[in-house]
Structure 1
Amino acid sequence: MARPRKSERDAAGIRLANAFWTLLEHHRLANITVGMVAEQAELNRGTFYYHFKSMDDLVDRVIEDEILGNESVMQNAFGLIAGSSTVDSLETLINRKTDRFALLINQGGMDLFSVKIKRLVFATWKAILCDDGEELAPNTRLIIEYSTSGIIGIITYGARHETESTSPEFFLSFVKNNSEFLVSQIGIAQGIPRDAVLERVRATLRIAGMNDR
């Protein structure tokens, strides 16, 4: 039997991810199984394991896609830092993405969401700021922890208090101010000039194809 073409593999992976999000609307994360995801996607378990090692791997991948993937909030937040994204584009994304973040928190728990998000954010900033063999400075880690916790806190509040949900305008303003704070402080903490931080962010966006708008 011929192996599926790349486009077919990609399409199956997207179907599995979409199936996961559909199931999460009605089930606790801990209760969702590989079989449920495969059935919802109308695929077999073998196809699931072709794309993902386990349910944990699927969860990691869908969160990574929401945070770092094409047209993600972080992508546009970095674009806002670098001057290649607009406030309007970020507002559109925030309105769309925060619903999924809230769903993860409500169905999977705050601890899981927070740990996975922070791990991705730290890894991204390390790739931007550090040369091979270097580590983020302690003060840099503190700044990233502070800024990331603030954004997660706003999302969490909205997820747990739907009738008092934070307005998109406030969240947008927070992300914008948070980005400016990072640019002004993170270079100082890491010992890198502000302009150099901006250029590294722009280079990351170019490499990832994030500026192809």
Structure 2
Amino acid sequence: MGRPRKDGQDSAVSRMEAAFFRVMEETPFGKLTVRAVVTEAGVNRNSFYYHYAGIDDLARSAVANLLVPEIPRMILRGLGPGSEQVVQVLEGVHGDDRLRKLLILIGPNSTSALRAMLKDAVLDLWLQTFEVERGDLTPEESATVDFLLAGALELVGQVKQSDARAALSRLSSIPIVQESMRIAVLTLKAAGTRS
């Protein structure tokens, strides 16, 4: 692991992750290069390969660092996706930047592989919260959770960057979205009870 910087600048990892999102705003994920990321981040290739095996590895790390583990925990405790507490956490530290990055991940420069990476990371976070392994899900439960998660990401993917916060607020208040969240929670709780 590299030494911390004395000048107070962000670490190489955080700079490369930030550069990943900046480059993705202009470049399709399938055409993203290590050179573009390291140039944007102001680091060298050795630094990149010290931390990552390649662009997919950087993407997985960036996705994992984007997720907010408190959200599924709050929903497990019975709070709805549009509840004041959940909204406060989402809007908390770097909320607008986090939302901008999420929209980049599922936006026009994304790929099916990158969207699948995001979907898997979100699913893994939820499974971890509910203390469930993928193998604990029945085929019906797995299909239910996949369907609901894909639908949620599709809805979020239609949100425009300029109207993101208001649009997500509207989405979270739609009855079918709230019902979908309820079904997801019940499904994961049922799987957790069996395991």
What is the TM-score of this pair, normalised by structure 1?
0.68
Question: Does the Cα contact within 8 Å between 1:143 and 1:186 map onto a contact in 2?
Answer: no
Question: Does the Cα contact within 8 Å between 2:131 and 2:192 map onto a contact in 1?
Answer: no
Q: Residue type matched to 1:17 in 2?
A: E
Structure 1 CA distance, aligned partners of 2:157 and 2:171?
A: 12
Q: Residue type matched to 1:35 in 2?
A: R
**Aligned residue in 1 for 2:183:** 181
Question: Does the Cα contact within 8 Å between 1:28 and 1:108 map onto a contact in 2?
Answer: yes
Q: Deviations over 1:22-61 (max 9, x none)?
A: 1122222222211121111111110011111101111111
Question: Does the Cα contact within 8 Å between 1:126 and 1:136 map onto a contact in 2?
Answer: no
* Aligned-residue RMSD, C-alpha: 3.4
Greater shift after overlay, 119-128 or 144-153? 119-128
Residues 1-213 of structure 1: pairs in structure 2 closer than 5 A? 4-5=2-3, 7-8=4-5, 11-67=11-67, 72=68, 75-82=70-77, 86-92=85-91, 96-104=97-105, 105-109=107-111, 111-127=112-128, 128-130=130-132, 135-158=136-159, 167-173=167-173, 177-188=179-190, 190=191, 192=193
Unaligned runs of 5+ in 2: none
Q: Deviations over 1:4-38 (max 9, x none)?
A: 32x44x81100111111111222222222111211
Question: Does the Cα contact within 8 Å between 2:71 and 2:89 map onto a contact in 1?
Answer: yes
| Secondary structure, aligned partner of 2:43 | coil
| Secondary structure, aligned partner of 2:136 | coil
| Secondary structure, aligned partner of 1:130 | coil
Q: Alpha-carbon deviation of 1:154?
A: 0.6
Q: Deviations over 1:107-160 (max 9, x none)?
A: 123x124311222233334443437x953222221221122012111112225x
What is the TM-score of this pair, normalised by structure 2?
0.74
Unaligned runs of 5+ in 1: 198-213
Question: Does the Cα contact within 8 Å between 1:13 and 1:51 map onto a contact in 2?
Answer: yes
Larger % of helix: which?
1
Q: Deviations over 1:151-198 (max 9, x none)?
A: 111112225x9789972222233565543332233333x2728xxx9x
